[in-house]
A and B are shown apart, each in its own frame.
Chain A
Amino acid sequence: MELLLAIAVMALGAVVLGAALGFASIKFKVEGDPLVEKIEAILPQTQCGQCSYPGCKPYAEAIAKGEADINLCPPGGMEGVQRLADLLGREVKPLDAEEKPKQVAIIDENTCIGCTLCIQACPVDAIVGAAKQMHTIIAPLCTGCELCLPPCPVECIRMEAIPETIDNWKWKYPVVEIKAAPLREAA
């Protein structure tokens, strides 16, 4: 009798807890993967495809699944790798490419023939123009992904590093100057 009661109590507990878990899984269901969103927030959103994935979101999904390494994003730089490593608890690895300064694409408007190929290639709609009309780049919207360079049939697009101006200038990290001690003190 006692054995049966014990089994009944355990069974009841299992049913109650199971119902609670089932309810919670419906009530507190999380749409999408929050980890993907966190990873995506770290990625620079250049949508350049240099990681071999077609955009930042697919790369974030691949990282979340554990399919991709965290050091494949050159625009994110070493700092991006560091932040991804912190988020995911993985080892920091050196970047799988060289780090470049931030760039912006510039169309040589005299050479442009108005073929619209670069407009189709631009992932972030930063190029304006129409067929047989001159195209130009909206510099503040350009992410510097270089995807417009290969399709251009007349090679009129070039990349330029963004120059330092008073508006984007930053105070430098205070550096302590280390000077050699005077000779007489050393002697």
Chain B
Amino acid sequence: MLMNLFKFKGGVKPPTNKTQSTTLPIAVAPIPARLVVPLHQNIGGTPRPVVQVGDKVLKGQLIGEADGWISAAVHAPTSGTVVEVAMHVRPHPSGLDSLCVVIEPDGKDEWITRTPIDHRAVPPADVFHHLQQCGIVGLGGAGFPAHGKLTPSKGVPMDELIINGAECEPFITCDDLLMRERAGEVVRGIAVFRDLLQPKKVLIGIEDNKPEAIAAMRAAVDAQNEPFSVVAVPTLYPAGGAKQLIRVLTGKEVPGSMRSTADMGVQVFNVGTAYSAWRAIGHGEPLVSRIVTLTGNVHQPRNYDVLIGTPMDELLKLAQPHPDTDGILMGGPMMGFLVPDPHAPVIKTTNCLIAHDDRLFPPKAPEMPCIRCGACATVCPHELQPFELYWYARAKNFGKTQEYHIFDCIECGCCSFVCPSRIPLVQYFRFAKSEIWAREREKNAADGAKARFEFKQMREEREKAEKAEKLARAAAAQAAKKAAEAAAAATTEGSAPASAATDADTPPVAVDAEKVAKKATIEAAMARAKAQREAAQPKNTDNLTPEQQRTAAEIEERRIAANLISPEPGSEKAP
């Protein structure tokens, strides 16, 4: 089918190095001796562990419960025993530890009872919940929880659903092999997304260096009679970037400040996400394994179906790395990073492991001064000016980097790739971005501290004023009492008959003087008790100005919203 394709600006053509790992079909990696499953694997809240040391778990059993809407559950990748819930190294450029559940497999690989759902028969909210409970996240790179991307925007009609099978990064072939071998289930997953989002068109973008995958996907689409178009897009890095693929397939350019779903009516999913979403919906299987390309400096490059939590060094042994391998790259050579610790486990976003050596990736020659040739600006797919960003990031002038839209940078590495002075531009941009985030955090913390400090001062002033007022009132009452006593003494002395007359007026009903006295005592006691009760009640909510009342009401609302208190008026004083 013929379709008018568009071009995005820039891009580079690094050697693809993909054929090495596509000669053999996907193999299932053996279960390792120990699985280390990090709880925080994707963008969003860190899941809470729900298992304890010694628990027996089955394959697919929940071990980490999703924390909040943008978060996805984590499951046991195989059956076995939980031997540890502790801090272990995570595949992250920092090399820092995070909370992991360590499972010793029993070798039976026994599943929990899997319950498929019919996504057409249940309301969308249930489907979202099911996907979140199955831990389905975007497998393309960032790992954004899939259910968070499946709600159509209210204002803008959903025009296009784009399925990303471009896989533009060199060396990686996991999506290619997935489409070749499991196209049917990928298409079923796409149909689920289609049913939820109701787009006008579904476009599957695959780079034209994967003819087998394109053929397999076309066959699967035809076999299922779906109106999806499988489009071959020109091979140009980074065509697989979400905004680039949107541009190529639809001609729409997503401005930096906009989100493609909410503002442009386009949504993008990776083919791997579609596949695992179908495994969750059609088979009830949570995301416990993924396809990982093992390539680089190895004897036998190949794609493996790998359990999440498999240690990388153990996994890489399957591909028989050459003895001079000196590190593992996670992800591709353009955007990936050297894993700081080879024992780090495979996580949901690990698409490729490349055995690193100096022959494949020669050490970079020293950085030279920028000559402002502008090569970086011509290849930047986001039409930024990397050389300007570089100056400002290097000089730590972060305000200026933001003026030059550093947060539109997708860190694709095109600029570093072409730089004749071999400047690690992306590293400078990452540095600037994380500094800006840290400053933002500090600024927010400082603002909060300032507000609380000022409130505390205000409160102390108020308490002081209240105390002074109370003392003044007590003194005044004392003085008045004394004056009254003096006056009473004066009247009893001077005009006894008058007071006798008033006394005579009041008790015409009273038959018994004793009864009256008793009643008076009781009344006096009740009055005293009432006064005491009032004194014990907090008085700072009396006599509020309308403004204070409004603030108090707002605070109550916030507290109700934050579930700190229940909305009943009776319980509002509970701490």
Contacts and interface: CB of A to CB of B under 8 A. Distances in A.
Contacts of A74: none
B448 interface: yes
Nearest to B431: A171
Mostly, the B contact residues are helix
A44 interface: yes
Given A171-B427, A174-B428, A166 B446 contact: no
A166 B90 contact: yes
A172 B433 CA distance: 11
A166 B94 contact: yes
Interface in B351-402: 366-367
Contact of A174 (B94, B427, B448): B427
Mostly, the A contact residues are loop
Contact of B456 (A40, A44, A124, A170): A124
B522 interface: no
A171 B430 contact: yes
A143 B445 CA distance: 8
B87 to A, nearest CB: 10
Contacts of B44: none
Nearest to B92: A166
A171 B93 contact: yes
Interface residues of B, number: 31
Interface stretch (B74-82, B116-124, B434-442): B434-442
A89 to B, nearest CB: 18
A117 B94 CA distance: 40
A164 B96 contact: yes
Nearest to B95: A169
A123 interface: yes
B430 to A, nearest CB: 4
Interface string A147-184: 00000000000000000111011111110100000000
A140 B433 CA distance: 22
A50 interface: no
A71 interface: no
Interface string A22-61: 0000000000000000001001111100000001100000
B444 to A, nearest CB: 10
A46 B445 CA distance: 10
B69 interface: no
Given A168-B438, A169-B96, A143 B449 contact: yes
A109 interface: no
B447 interface: yes
B54 to A, nearest CB: 27
B367 A141 contact: no
A47 B449 contact: yes
B32 interface: no
List 8 tightest A-B contacts by C-beta distance, closest first.
A45-B446, A171-B430, A170-B434, A174-B427, A169-B94, A45-B449, A45-B450, A124-B452
6 contacts: A124-B453, A125-B456, A141-B449, A143-B445, A170-B437, A174-B427
Interface of B: 40, 90, 92-94, 96, 98, 366-367, 424, 427-428, 430-431, 433-435, 437-438, 441-442, 445-450, 452-453, 455-456
Interface of A: 40, 43-47, 55-56, 123-126, 140-141, 143, 164-166, 168-174, 176
